[in-house]
Copies of this chain bind each other. A is one copy, B any other.
Amino acid sequence: MRYSESHKAETHQRIVMEASRRFRRDGIGATGVQSLMEAVGLTHGAFYAHFASKDALVEEVLRSIAREAENPAAAAIVGDDPIRSFIDVYLTPLHRDTAEIGCPLPTMSLELAQRGSPSPETDHLVVDRLDAFERALARADASDQSVALLASLVGALVLARSVSDRALSDRILEATRRWLLARASS
């Protein structure tokens, strides 16, 4: 069946977006090509009309995430106190429970490294975030603080998503948030 001119590009984009959500929610390894294509409404064979391999999809998803400014993690770098806003949005139960539209670093960064494909895409995600922090901070120790802040945020989300005790998970988010706001807000 032949489709309208934009049809392929639209399908392509739907695959990328679904993968982007699943990679962040379930991880890359746990996202199979077959179930991914089923979710998009196609059979697995069609995948290779759009991507040379799963790794090629991973790269495109990373580029797509780096591009988008709509994810909660990126959207909050605005307002009077952008750092405070970012912390407030990042360390919420909502962000913890909706990994599929959240920051890719807590879920994907380590897996990308363990997969052994050291593409510079991960570095870009980290560097872009650090640059945004440094711009918003504009302090003497902005460089160190940006790094420490990002590490705290990512670590808190990793731990909050890892523990099974909901109360402990909430405590991790709230305590880190309080502590960071007392020390890191500009």
Contact = CB atoms under 8 A, between A and B. Distances in A.
Contact of A156 (B107, B111, B145, B155): B155
A178 B99 CA distance: 30
A57 interface: no
A106 B113 CA distance: 12
The interface size bin for chain A is 35 or more
Contacts of A113: 161-164
Given A144-B179, A175-B144, A151 B156 contact: yes
A114 B30 contact: yes
Interface of A: 26-27, 29-30, 105-107, 109-114, 118-120, 122-123, 126-127, 141, 143-148, 150-156, 158-159, 161-165, 168, 171-172, 175-176, 178-180, 183
20 contacts: A27-B114, A105-B158, A105-B162, A110-B110, A113-B162, A118-B164, A119-B164, A122-B163, A123-B163, A123-B164, A123-B165, A148-B156, A148-B180, A150-B159, A151-B155, A151-B176, A154-B155, A154-B159, A155-B155, A158-B158
